[in-house]
Amino acid sequence: MGGDLGPRSVVPACIRFLSRYPAAELKLFGPRSQLHPLLTNQSDSMRARLEIVDCEQVITQACNPVQALRHKRESSMARALQAVADGDCSAMVTSGNTGALLALGRSILGTVEGVRRPALGKSLPTADGSCFLLDLGANIDCSAEDLVLFARMGVEAQKVFAEKRDVSVALLNIGAEEHKGTEEIRRAGKLLSADPSLNYVGFVEGHDIFAGVVDVVVCNGLMGNVAMKSAEGVIRLIGQKTFTIDKKAPIKRFFGQLAINLLRKWRSQLEPGRYNGANFLGLAGNVIKSHGGASSEAFYRALITAKECAEADLAERVGRSMALQSQQQTGCD
């Protein structure tokens, strides 16, 4: 209910998802009066796999985390999180308010052992594979210790999404030299270098994220959010330029047509909506954050991400890894 398009994008995405995955079942949390009319044309078998959980209370983008915790415990977002906590659902997806989601997620699901701050991360396409980037906006200010924890969680996530065992990690910085960056970033680099459980390769810059030189890139939420949205803006600009070639002068149109098919192919492969759905790593349950302005196609992709997380039991996997690291550190102390 919290996205810009609300049920208009969510419900068609759910129907498409269920059509593709016959063994899946979904619960829709929101006002029945708004959701039920969108399902009237569906078959009985489809409606049987798409349960409506009536929730009159919803969280808007204007709702701050404190308000959500105090006054929105019966909202669609809170009740969906509770369904995950109770084991009724394997994962939840929302396009809603990120701050409220983090606050309610920590309250209802709790965090895994050893994690102080959950982080948003997702797998992005690279030249020859993928790169998992985190944090994407949940934590603006991060200590060096936070960044190390993000790295450990990112490694577990990338093992699932890229199906790799040996995962390399880097810190996002303004340069690759050791003396560059803030004090916390430099300190995080030293902590990561001293951690034998991580394959830390050093600092990388923004352009390295998509070059495929590393499997996991770690940063604070401000840097990650700006990097991701800047990349999305460039991709959309390429798409706009591709479709304006026909309006150019004849000579430009001639040469433009030589490249237009390739540009359109790249655009379809890199369209941000294809990679919608960020994982809230560190929560004790699989929680997927969809973009607030997600189209039906983009929300469908987020549902697929949720399915992959549920099948891999990513939250439990991250929890086991972080608990083991915490126990090892306690033993060393």
pTM of the model: 0.86
Same-domain pairing of 321 and 176: no
In a domain? residue 231: yes
pLDDT: which is higher, 328 or 7: 7
pLDDT at 228: 83
Q: State the pLDDT at residue 44.
A: 87
Q: Do 286 and 165 lie in a common domain?
A: no
Overall average pLDDT of the 1-19 stretch: 91
Query: In this predicted model, what pLDDT tens digit does every residue of 183-228 receive, in sequence order?
Result: 999 999 999 999 998 999 999 999 898 888 999 999 999 999 888 8
List, in order, residues 6 or more apart from 185 with CB less than 8 Å away: 144, 147, 171, 173, 203
User: What confidence tens digit (pLDDT) does each residue in 172-184 have?
Assistant: 999 989 889 999 9
| 147 and 42 housed in the same domain | no
Q: What digits encode the pLDDT tens for the residues 159-169?
A: 998 888 899 99
Give the rounded percent of residues in the chain with a pLDDT score beyond 70: 86
pLDDT at 239: 62
For 78-91, how does the pLDDT look when each residue is reduced to its tens digit (9 = 90+)? Answer: 999 999 999 999 99
Query: Is 1 part of any domain?
Result: no
pLDDT of residue 108: 97
pLDDT of residue 100: 95
- Distance, CA of 164 to CA of 216 (rounded, Å): 12
Helices (H), the chain: 7-20, 32-35, 44-48, 65-71, 76-85, 98-108, 144-161, 183-193, 221-242, 250-270, 296-312, 314-332
Q: Do 99 and 16 share a structural domain?
A: yes
How far is the first Cα of the chain from the last one, in angstroms, to the nearest whole number? Answer: 47
Q: Which of 134, 137, 136, 77 is nearest to 107 (CA)?
A: 77
**130 alpha-carbon distance from chain centroid:** 14
Give me Rg for the CA atoms of the chain: 21
Q: Band of the pLDDT at 252, cuts 50, 70, 90?
A: low
Write out the residue range of the structural domain in which residue 96 sits: 7-115+282-332
Decide if pLDDT at 279 tops 70.
Answer: yes
Q: CB-side exposure of 295: number of CA atoms within 13 Å?
A: 7
> What is the tens place of the pLDDT at every residue in 114-125?
898 999 999 888
Q: Residue 25: count other Cβ atoms within 10 Å of its Cβ.
A: 12
Residue 195 contacts by C-beta under 8 Å, 6 or more apart in sequence? 148
pLDDT of residue 168: 96
pLDDT at 204: 95
- Answer yes or no: is pLDDT of 235 > 80: no
If one counts the domains in the chain, the total is 2
Confidence band, pLDDT 50/70/90 cuts, at residue 3:
confident
**Domain end point (choices 237, 253, 273):** 273
The mean predicted confidence, pLDDT, of the chain is 88
* pLDDT tens readout for residues 40-63: 888 888 889 999 999 999 999 899
CA 153 to chain centre: 13
Cα–Cα dist 219/207, whole Å: 14
Please give the DSSP secondary-structure letter assigned to residue 247.
Answer: G
Residue 2 lies in a domain: no
Stretch 67-73: mean pLDDT = 94
Q: Which residue has the higher pLDDT, 94 or 292?
A: 94
* Size (the chain), residues: 333
pLDDT of 5 over the 70 cut: yes
Q: Do 107 and 123 fall into the same domain?
A: no
| Co-location of 148 and 179 in the same domain | yes
Band (pLDDT 50/70/90 cuts) for residue 264 is low
Answer yes or no: is 19 within a domain.
yes
Indicate if 41 and 28 belong to the same structural domain.
yes
Mean pLDDT computed over 128-153: 92
Q: Which residues contact 152 (CB under 8 A, 6 or more apart)?
A: 197, 198, 321, 322, 325
- Residue 210: what pLDDT? 87
Q: Are 213 and 204 spatial neighbours (Cβ–Cβ below 8 Å)?
A: yes
Cα 109 to Cα 205: distance, rounded to the nearest angstrom: 34
Are 26 and 309 in contact by the 8 Å Cβ rule? The answer is: no
CATH number at residue 230: 3.40.718.10
Neighbours of 23 (CB within 10 A): 6
Instruction: Look at residue 267 in the predicted model and tell me its pLDDT.
Output: 52
pLDDT of residue 126: 86
Residue 133 φ then ψ, to 5°: -110, 130
Distance CA 28, CA 14 (A): 9
